[in-house]
Structure 1
Amino acid sequence: MKKSIIAFVTLALLVSCNKTETTGNLHITGNIKGLKKGTLYIQRIVDTTLVVLDSITLDGTSTFKSDLDLKSPEMLYLSLDRGTTNSLDNNISFFAEPGNITIETTLDHYLADAKVTGSKNNEIFEEYKKINMGFTDKNLTMLEQRFKAIKIQNLKAADSISALQDANIKRKYLFATNFALNNRDYEVAPYIALSEIYDINVKYLDTIQKAMSPKVAQSLYGKKLTEYVSKVKSQK
């Protein structure tokens, strides 16, 4: 009898420990080099508003961890409250998915030095952003050139640059569409469609929506894209 009680207590302790260790399906660990004191907030966007999922107070350490329950892969934000400023540079966006994710950065260059590992969706989105930045930089250069042309009243040059800008935007949208289609098996595909090219001709969004794998179609952004395409179609 005594042995049975001991065995029961041991089993209960093991179950209790396992529950503690497996809280949530998303486990975030990280390090902010140079940080000694501050508060971190892990947030998500709900109806255009940032909502806090977890807050972490750091005092004398630069490492942190958080365990969350994520129903579907989605874009989250790691916000740092330094106690002095609320700059946009204090917000690291990362495409979270169930599993283990590591976020490393520095206090001095919180946003620029950010490195996120452990999420395939985030890896794909970083690849997208890197290429997309080329279109953005090119547009900014042409915008400056057009402004100078208008300033010296060279309307012919201004119109020519404007046409090049339009062509650049079309290439940007076409790239985003093809990128989403090529990554149809990942939840980042409908996210790109919704956040980057929501105002493109609905036929392209419809193509992305129909190309999504069953798993992605049932994800947070997959369902949102399906709803959005249906809404746009109904307004025509």
Structure 2
Amino acid sequence: MKNTFLALAALLVIVACKKEDHGDANVHITGNIKGFKKGQLFIKKYNDTALVNIDTIVIDGDSHFESHLKIDSPEMLYLVIDRVKTASVDNDLPFFAEPGNIKIETTKDEFFGKAKITGSENQKLYEEFKAVKNKFVNDNLDLTKLSYEAGKNVARQDSIALKADQLKKRRYLHTANFALNHADHEVGPYVAISEIAQDINLKYLDTINKSMTPKVAKSRYGKMLTDVIAERKKLEAAPAQ
């Protein structure tokens, strides 16, 4: 009985120490960057308009890494790699963090392109959004190429400009529908803010705002969307100078 009590007491001490080590962290990030043996990793977030560092991880011989963070609500963070000596511009990896366990697997040479992120429902939904967004981006690049090839042909330029405008409207509507259909996740208001908040008709933003669940409405991006709408209404109500 005495031995059992001592073992239980020792276990409680170990658990208490582990909790103390990580403080009030609610996000546990683990990962592996294949081929990255020496350098540093930084986890950053936007504070207003500035990207600030919230964790530094030293890599020295082992490409695996770990981080414990505290976030108030799900938000977009950035894993930044410092390769020490390189001319690469592929150094930033955005990921949608949320409370729980998140795993990031990628490679040193294709840091962004080979990234696989699991454990975040918001990240999964955001990747679905990006897949469709990339199609719009590619279609727009095709139109830009056609415009260059058309030169001074006015009729062709007008036709291409019309198609570009229609493409832009479809992209905006797709983004608005995505945000509305996922107003129960923080990725909903995030996409609305980052993609269409300054350009789309206010009625769409109002609909998204009213569709957010109470939890999402209280989140960082939920509050930001509410503030953006209020600011736009204020500006649009102001008399023209």
Q: TM-score over 0.5 for the alignment?
A: yes
How far apart are the structure 2 equivalents of 1:86 and 1:226?
41
TM-score by length of 2: 0.91
How far apart are the structure 2 equivalents of 1:87 and 1:228?
35
How far apart are the structure 2 equivalents of 1:75 and 1:125?
10
Alpha-carbon distance, 1:22 to partner: 5.7
**Given the superposition, is the C-alpha separation of residues 161 and 60 from structure 1 closer, same or farther in structure 2, using an over 3 Å criterion?**
same
The answer for the alignment partner of 1:94 in structure 2 is: 95
Alpha-carbon distance, 1:230 to partner: 0.7
The answer for the alignment partner of 1:169 in structure 2 is: 168
Alpha-carbon distance, 1:10 to partner: 3.5
**Given the superposition, is the C-alpha separation of residues 6 and 231 from structure 1 closer, same or farther in structure 2, using an over 3 Å criterion?**
same
The answer for the alignment partner of 1:182 in structure 2 is: 181
**Runs of 4 or more off by more than 3 Å in structure 1?**
5-12, 20-23, 85-88
The answer for the alignment partner of 1:16 in structure 2 is: 16
The answer for the alignment partner of 2:215 in structure 1 is: 215
TM-score by length of 1: 0.92
Equivalent AA in structure 2 for residue 82 of structure 1? R
Equivalent AA in structure 1 for residue 205 of structure 2? L
Alpha-carbon distance, 1:147 to partner: 1.4
Alpha-carbon distance, 1:201 to partner: 1.3
Equivalent AA in structure 2 for residue 179 of structure 1? F
- Secondary structure of the residue that 1:75 maps to in structure 2? strand
- Secondary structure of the residue that 2:90 maps to in structure 1? helix
The answer for the alignment partner of 2:141 in structure 1 is: 140
How far apart are the structure 2 equivalents of 1:85 and 1:48?
27
- Secondary structure of the residue that 1:89 maps to in structure 2? coil
The answer for the alignment partner of 2:113 in structure 1 is: 112
Query: Residues 19-53 of structure 1: CA distance to partner in whole angstroms, max 9, x if unpaired?
Result: 14764100000000011101000000112211111
Alpha-carbon distance, 1:182 to partner: 0.7
Equivalent AA in structure 2 for residue 136 of structure 1? V
- Secondary structure of the residue that 1:65 maps to in structure 2? strand
Equivalent AA in structure 1 for residue 84 of structure 2? G
The answer for the alignment partner of 1:38 in structure 2 is: 39
Percent identical across equivalent pairs? 50
- Secondary structure of the residue that 2:66 maps to in structure 1? strand
The answer for the alignment partner of 1:50 in structure 2 is: 51
